[in-house]
Amino acid sequence: MEHLINTRVQEIEVSGIRKFYNMVSHIDDVISLTIGQPDFLTPEHVKQAGIKAIEDNFTSYTHNAGISELRTAACDFVAKKYGLTYEPDSEVIVTVGASEAIDITFRTILAEGTEVILPGPIYPGYEPIIRMCGAVPVHVDIRDNQFRFTLDMIKPYITDKTRCIVMPYPSNPTGVSLTEIELKEIADYLKEREIFVLADEIYSELTYDQPHISIASFLKEKTIVINGLSKSHSMTGWRIGFLFAPKDITKHILKVHQYNVSCATSIAQRAALAALTTGMDDAIPMKKEYIKRRDYVYTRLTAMGLQVVKPDGAFYFFVKIPDFIQLNSFDFALEMVHQAKVAVVPGSAFSEYGEGYFRLSFACSLETLETGLNRIETFLNTKK
């Protein structure tokens, strides 16, 4: 019966991140610097709010867009943190993680043959959905621009078929953010064009050298902002995301969300409410620790002579594989697992423009990072 499966689904592949992780997870004594899972626990007050929701039997369906208190808290959060103004009753949807928010956005705005412009390298969660919508992903090679997806990089790829531009900042896998000037230039250029912007800002609370700025500050009427609590509050398994957009957009996205999942989990919504109110600044202690780790890793990698751009957000380094290594990124990562007992993600997982790189996550302890980097250094020295 497999031949009857939707051909678009048959043609997409499992995420390269997960594919590689699953391939090496059984190997003993491996230091894993792969998946973007914060090593901090969900804050205690957030867990207690979830427990209380169960004890209070808050286990029924909620409003499709989410409980009103949480939608209000979400709007208050982005207003205080980023200066974004949205109406709780009509301009925010609580989703099952940021992933569902991305899915329902594309399924709402894309049509057969339309084009979506994305930077490359990029997180692999966008392209398969775009293709399943019958649309065309158009990658822009930003490797020689310090991984910056600036207006001069975007303009040559805009056509009359362009429906959306994906702005994923801070970036996974590069950790790069754009400046206020860079974002405003893009926004000004798009003001007179009928093009949506999908701003994936899931790492917005983890910025290190400058405050997070959303392109929605300059282009609210065309921007769909995706955010959530997975990274900011170490709540990956709770699966709570947020989608913010003008009401004439959200009213249509809400229909897709309704038929997709009905609503986000009621218990997780109560926990999310605690995260966004009493836990509004829960990310600050994590951010301080991430800065220490980032600076340590950057010092070590550059001392090894590796080519890297210092990340100013998220918790990743996207590292150029040295020229003396005559392997593609997948084989390089596989060899390093077997010989050095360190797992990183091959750059090819992040589009063809990630080839020749590997992603290293510093969402783990300094002790783990030190051991892993020692092994990487020894491994590279044996290859020279």
CATH number of 2-42+282-383: 3.90.1150.10
Radius of gyration of the chain (CA): 21
Q: Which residues contact 22 (CB under 8 A, 6 or more apart)?
A: none
**What pLDDT was estimated at residue 63?**
98
Q: What is the DSSP letter of 284?
A: H
In which residue are the tokens 């400046």 written? 179
CATH 3.40.640.10 domain residues, the chain: 44-276
In the CATH scheme, what architecture does the domain 44-276 have?
3-Layer(aba) Sandwich (3.40)
**What pLDDT was estimated at residue 21?**
76
Q: What is the pTM of this model?
A: 0.96
**What pLDDT was estimated at residue 18?**
76
CA 242 → CA 73, 185, 253, distances in Å? Answer: 11, 26, 12
**What pLDDT was estimated at residue 23?**
77
* SS3 state at 150: coil
Low pLDDT (below 50) residues in the chain? none
CATH 3.90.1150.10 domain residues, the chain: 2-42+282-383
Strand partners, 357: 320
**What pLDDT was estimated at residue 12?**
84
